[in-house]
Amino acid sequence: MFTRPDLEAREAATLAPYATLSRDHGGREHPEGESETRTAFQKDRDRVLHTTAFRRLEAKTQVFLSAAGDHYRTRLTHTLEVQQVARSVALSLGLNETLSETIALAHDLGHPPFGHAGERVLNQLLEGEGGFNHNLQARRIVTLLEHPKGEYPGLNLTRDTLDGLNKHHRAGLGQPSLEAQLVDAADALAYTAHDLDDGLRSGLITPAQLADLPLWTELTRRAGVHGHDLSEQGRRTLHRQLLGWLIRDLTHASHASITASGVTTPADVRAQPTRLITYSPDMRALLRDTGTFLREHLYRHWRVEMQVEQATQVLQSLYHALMNRPSMLPPTYRALATSEGQPRATCDYLSGMTDRYALDTHAGITPGGPTTLWPR
């Protein structure tokens, strides 16, 4: 049987010198004993997996409403795809696979219902109250809103995992760990690949529209697939080939970047002027063009815009109703309002909803809606 010290020794012997070792973790806010058989990052991962917020990701929008079809990505399947990419590249680069996996599993916990449309609505509603950002909300969930033990709020994760959730708010913190940088890159990789795939599957974007996109042209050439008359099998082949191409580029370019930087410790990584996990210059250009294409042809497609309008009306209506009648908030959030303020507590409640629960709750306070709302 391998004990925690055995696993920590294995990390020290096999990981790259700039990887984050679990035995050197930055501690936890609330001191506690470590596991006999799991590393600190394994404990973090398991705590994230068992949260209510993680289970709710199954019924939260990625691009299409969760009820739109059984085969489109949800926030949960996106998270699992990010996890897979992060683990694969971490293994190739000698990084801490478990820390990368943990940050990947936690990175989207703060997403509200209805995807980025829901985030924009909540940010507007909370203007003057600090706004709303799904990255900050993920950290809020794991440090305050989830409290399985009851002894203290939050999951009591290591500071290394928490730091990995600070994607854009890093004043004075230096660069993130390479594991956290990797999750950020894997996130962009995953949604680029699967949003293209879901867009084609749905018919909202067509091969003809993609014909002049440089990434698509190169992808179809590499895969040997005719991109104009795309079969179901052809679409699957292209998605698989795209993932492999992106992962290879990310791995090789990041390895070259790390080597050129000369870093030999995690502290060296934090002191770097720029991030070291990166794509090649050619791939960065291809991804920029693809991101522009997806915004124009998928995220702003008129059918997706109808979902955005639905999300806007539902969340605005629920927010104002709960602010006008705070007794409709569940007891946990009413108690939270005494310390956090009613706007923030209301936002916490709304952002935790799944798409379907938000729609059902809205229907329940709308004339002609269902007469009974079962507690969830």
Q: Is residue 266 part of a domain?
A: yes
Averaged pLDDT, 44-72: 82
pTM of the model: 0.93
Q: Residue 28: helix, strand or coil by DSSP?
A: strand
Averaged pLDDT, 55-68: 76
Q: Is residue 101 part of a domain?
A: yes
CA 125, CA 121: separation in Å to the nearest integer? 6
CA 191, CA 299: separation in Å to the nearest integer? 12
* Token pair listed for 251: 């791995």
Averaged pLDDT, 291-308: 90
Query: What is the DSSP annotation of 142-202?
Result: IIII--SSSSSSS---BHHHHHHT-SS--TTT-SPPHHHHHHHHHHHHHHHHHHHHHHHHH
Helix (H) or strand (E) holding 99: helix 97-106
Q: Is residue 351 part of a domain?
A: no
* Residues of the chain above pLDDT 90, percent: 80
* Token pair listed for 286: 């291809």
Q: What is the pLDDT of residue 376?
A: 47
Whether the CB-CB separation of 25 and 164 falls below 8 Å is answered with no
Q: Is residue 321 part of a domain?
A: no
* Token pair listed for 289: 């063009």
Q: Is residue 353 part of a domain?
A: no
Q: What is the pLDDT of residue 202?
A: 87
Q: Report how many domains make up the chain.
A: 1
* Residues of the chain above pLDDT 70, percent: 94
CA 310, CA 312: separation in Å to the nearest integer? 5
Q: What is the pLDDT of residues 148-191, one digit of tens each?
A: 888 899 999 999 999 999 876 567 789 999 999 999 999 999 99
Q: Is residue 234 part of a domain?
A: yes
Say which CATH number the domain at 55 has: 1.10.3210.10
Q: What is the pLDDT of residues 86-101, one digit of tens each?
A: 999 999 999 999 999 9
User: Is the pLDDT score of 374 beyond 50?
Assistant: no
Q: Is residue 145 part of a domain?
A: yes
| Residue 136: domain span | 41-304
Whether the CB-CB separation of 95 and 182 falls below 8 Å is answered with yes
Q: Is residue 310 part of a domain?
A: no
**Of 15 and 172, more confident:** 15
